[in-house]
Structure 1
Amino acid sequence: MDSVSASRIVLFPFMSKGHIIPFLQLARLLLHRGITVTIFTTPANSPFIRHSLADTDASVVDLPFPQNVPGLPAGVESTDRLPSMSLFLPLVNATKLIQPDFEHALQNLSGVSCLVSDGFLGWTQKSAEKLGIPRLVLFGMSNYSATVSRVVVLDRPHVDLDSDDEPFEVPSFEWIKLTRNDFESPFKDPEPKGPLFEFIIEQGIATSKSQGLVVNSFYELEPLFLDYWNREFDPKAWCVGPLCMAEPPRVEPLMKPIWVQWLDTKLAEGGTVIYVAFGSQAEISSEQLQEIAIGLEKSEVNFLWVVRSKGLEALEGFEERVKGRGVVVKEWVDQREILDHESVIGFMSHCGWNSVLESICACVPILAWPMMAEQHLNARMVAEELGVGLRILAESGSVRGFVKWENIEKMVRELMEGGKGKEVRKKVKEIGEAARRAMEEGGSS
């Protein structure tokens, strides 16, 4: 990307940390190129955005979030605050009521050359069209997931199968074998319908009318899938990532968090650590939490586990039993700081796309355990397409379902100490180096 003469780009992320973070990273990339950046958000999401960009010249505009929305608890303005992801639709549909305030604020900004808005905010396409501003879309997912999903939805190779675990080939990508369980409803349903399906169609139409897709990825990671998308589908996609590499160098704080101090201690002892985290949205049962705890304990591997699920009572007595070898953190952490730590050589992850990229950029292999959204496709990509990780599967061999501690123990040991772990560790270093080159001056992103 070459330097651009002064112009203003407006960014509007969906109200969810996993969506906001790549927009903040994109803001830094644009600011570095001398572009004026304005971010639109709502009052409850504003402090996080303002704090994250406090060292920049980015401006932030707060738009009032609708009040008294049916089905939505008072004061909730992001998925991170939802009591359950079943309330996703009321939240995302409530954002449509922001449109008049958004248009008024956008009209009052000078020199706006482009709007980059979240793929979940399809209604911003009409606003952009009305005001004569080009709109680009950032979905925050890989070309692999976007392309494979589109092909499966259009060609429907999964319709006549006997079970959700029966494999099928993806048309045009015959080497990829998926199951219906690699998709959420409505994508997995033979006859998709209902409010969520209608929402997805609505966003797809708005995206097709936009001027392009901005993809948090890099060409060398998934060339086949980007080329296929740009040959077969609209609008055109451009890779601008990995956006996490646009973050400034970390300033060492006066007092490191306790868990980072613990990692330092492990490094000094010559120990290695697996980092365990499943994102802020995953709903994990107390029974499954217990199996994870037993698996980690039995593995005898050092671990740092970030737990944000309900049902923490299942871990009673666990921290005492693993004292010295394992740390359980129940608050927000700087994930990149942990992944970049020299002692961390493995990541048990839900395979949210941000986490996958952060792990690749830190050259840390992944133990993939997807939970929701397009994470199952990301896990396939990680383990089967890229070879930078291993999979955790249910006892039945399914990509969904309850996982027993024996399998968790076995796969943790394999990633950290086994032959397959060595292979994926070598591969992720190669791809991590390619990511760095993509973001250099003259690189592909």
Structure 2
Amino acid sequence: MPESELRRGFRCAPRADYFAAVAGRDHVVIFPFMAKGHMLPLLHFATALSAQHGRLRVTLVTTPGNVAFARSRLPASVGLVALPFPSFPPLPEGVESTDALPCPSLHLTFMQATGLLRGPFAEFLASLPSPPLALVSDFFLGFTRRVAADAGVRRIVFNGMSCFASAICKALAASPPTSFEPGTMIQVPGMPEHVAVRAEEVPDGVTKRADPDNPFTRFFMDEIGDSDVRSWGVLSNSLDALDAAYVSALESFYETGARAWLVGPLFMAAGDMPDGEKKEQDPEGCLSWLDERAAHPGSVVYISFGTQAHITDVQLDELVHGLVQSGHPFLWAVRSDTWSPPVDVGPNNRIVRGWVPQRSILAHKAVGGFVSHCGWNSVMESLAAGKPMLAWPMIAEQHLNARHVANILGAGVRIALKVGADVVGSAEVEEKVRELMDAESKAAKRMRERAVWAQQAAKSAVSHGGTSAMALLKLVEELQETYDDGVVGKCANSV
């Protein structure tokens, strides 16, 4: 279909008879937010759902600019629908994913643009021969709850966060402390006694929630509102062993009967294992470089800060100095195309600029630790590989993830982020990298033991009869029962 036609109406792929009429509700529609970190878990969820429920049809909804990314990561059994991405100046034409935004200041504009997908999405649901069993959609796509409710379809919300971080954010938004003065320790209402956080660890979206002049606050109030908590359930890319203690606190913010479904790690549930037969693309040759160091297991530290955070050249300078001074070999995925290291990194270290197969890198026996921004996807990948982390959070709920990993799970150490300081110095980097990587130290041994424990827990969760595997099965069963029994009261997306 020509691009012009693709933008005028939604496109279905890959089979011409994909939406042939069938009896009953045997169809799940999945609609991720257009950001790589949000899309990937739901692509894995679609794959896992299709594989475990062979009679269930699964369709993923996205926009034309994201079709190639999605299709390359989905089996043929999962259908794809492309809704035309709306024109919304000053958002540049052709930008259909947050990683393509020319500057961070356009992030809110991008979210506002996605709200205009409501009409095309409603038309798509109306075009189906029968209503789906469920809609699974991203937290940021708040309009989808009302569309699903109008179509008589249960909506399950996905926000990409752990139960731990989600429950803290909701609790502090509902019952904020007297102040969020930096350095203050906050006991989180409704959470277990051991959960206390520093004020500076709380995301801006929570601390500024009471500010009616904040544009993000207005967007959440106007466009998302209560669509999250009025959903039938919440999908979590986590597992009981890590998050069970915080499930009841999270569920308390949803309507009576709603449940949190812990079905992760989703890339493992989908069978997308880095040590399996399917090899990830490796254009930078990272894995062959690591193979040359395999004789020294756990010797290499891997560094990556994801796709969203912007790091200044000054900070990159301090970081590379600290890495070199630590004396540990490193593999570093740098996003900047313009920054150049001010020091010779030597033959035992490597800086790469392009795409890297992160899960395969973390699974490699030469890698002993991960310096990370602590996005939840990266946390799950590191723990599933049994690798401890040096937590260096930057935005959103990453500070809470860092506390979860280092202070509660004990599978990492945190970089010292001083209040008011814009740059972490090279001496701090050197010290913390050594703490992470010096295998003979008591602290490092403990971190590695806890990371290996998490790895075993993740494998168990997605195995036959494991907690995540059973949750995925029961999710579909309970959805079917609510329709079969004519139940409409159980958080049925009432309008």
Instruction: Tell me, yes or no, whether TM beats 0.5.
Output: yes
SS at match of 2:228: helix
Distance 1:107 1:56 in 2: 24
Structure 1 match to 2:271: 247
1:257 Cα offset (Å): 4.7
Moved more, 202-211 or 354-363: 202-211
Query: Within the alignment, does 1:130 sit opposite 2:150 as a pair?
Result: yes
5+ long unaligned stretches in structure 2: 1-23, 469-495
Query: Within the alignment, does 1:149 sit opposite 2:172 as a pair?
Result: no
Query: Cα deviation per residue 1:85-114 (whole Å; 9 max; x = unaligned)?
Result: 221111011112112211212222345211
SS at match of 2:467: coil
Structure 2 match to 1:360: 383
Q: How does 1:316-331 map to 2 (within 5 A)?
A: 316=342, 318=343, 321-331=344-354
Query: Cα deviation per residue 1:332-358 (whole Å; 9 max; x = unaligned)?
Result: 111111111111110000000000001
Kept in 2: contact 1:38–1:61 (CA 8 A):
yes
1:165 pairs with one of 164, 171, 183: 183
Structure 2 match to 1:404: 425
Structure 2 match to 1:61: 81
- In structure 2, give the amino acid aligned to 1:374: E
Distance 1:253 1:439 in 2: 21
SS at match of 2:133: strand
Residues 188, 334 of structure 1: alpha-carbon distance in 2 compared, 3 angstrom cutoff: same
1:374 Cα offset (Å): 0.7
Distance 2:414 2:291 in 1: 28
Q: How does 1:212-361 map to 2 (within 5 A)?
A: 212-231=233-252, 233-234=254-255, 235-245=258-268, 246-248=270-272, 249-252=276-279, 257-268=284-295, 272-309=299-336, 311-313=338-340, 315-316=341-342, 318=343, 321-361=344-384
Q: How does 1:346-425 map to 2 (within 5 A)?
A: 346-394=369-417, 396=418, 398=419, 401-417=422-438, 418-425=441-448
Kept in 2: contact 1:285–1:311 (CA 8 A):
no
1:429 Cα offset (Å): 0.7
1:287 Cα offset (Å): 0.2
- In structure 2, give the amino acid aligned to 1:389: G
Moved more, 127-136 or 15-24: 127-136
Moved more, 369-378 or 93-102: 93-102
Distance 1:104 1:256 in 2: 40
Query: Cα deviation per residue 1:20-59 (whole Å; 9 max; x = unaligned)?
Result: 0001110111011212111111111111001112x43111
Distance 2:100 2:379 in 1: 23
Distance 2:138 2:298 in 1: 41
Residues 252, 122 of structure 1: alpha-carbon distance in 2 compared, 3 angstrom cutoff: closer
Structure 2 match to 1:23: 42
SS at match of 2:393: coil
Query: Cα deviation per residue 1:366-398 (whole Å; 9 max; x = unaligned)?
Result: 10000111101101101111111100013x3x4
Residues 390, 226 of structure 1: alpha-carbon distance in 2 compared, 3 angstrom cutoff: same
TM-score, normalised to structure 1, is 0.92
Distance 2:282 2:85 in 1: 36
Distance 1:434 1:399 in 2: 38
- In structure 1, give the amino acid aligned to 2:399: H
Kept in 2: contact 1:186–1:192 (CA 8 A):
no
Distance 2:329 2:225 in 1: 44
In percent, how many aligned pairs have the same letter? 39
Identify the structure with bigger relative contact order (alpha carbons < 8 Å, sequence gap 6+): 2
Distance 2:297 2:410 in 1: 27
2:102 pairs with one of 83, 92, 110: 83
Distance 1:121 1:357 in 2: 24
5+ long unaligned stretches in structure 1: none
Structure 1 match to 2:159: 139
Distance 2:322 2:375 in 1: 22
Distance 2:127 2:189 in 1: 48
Structure 1 match to 2:115: 96
Distance 2:68 2:467 in 1: 33
Kept in 1: contact 2:25–2:133 (CA 8 A):
no
Kept in 2: contact 1:16–1:79 (CA 8 A):
yes
1:149 Cα offset (Å): 1.0
Distance 1:199 1:389 in 2: 35
Distance 2:195 2:420 in 1: 15
Query: Within the alignment, does 1:42 sit opposite 2:69 as a pair?
Result: no
Kept in 1: contact 2:280–2:357 (CA 8 A):
no
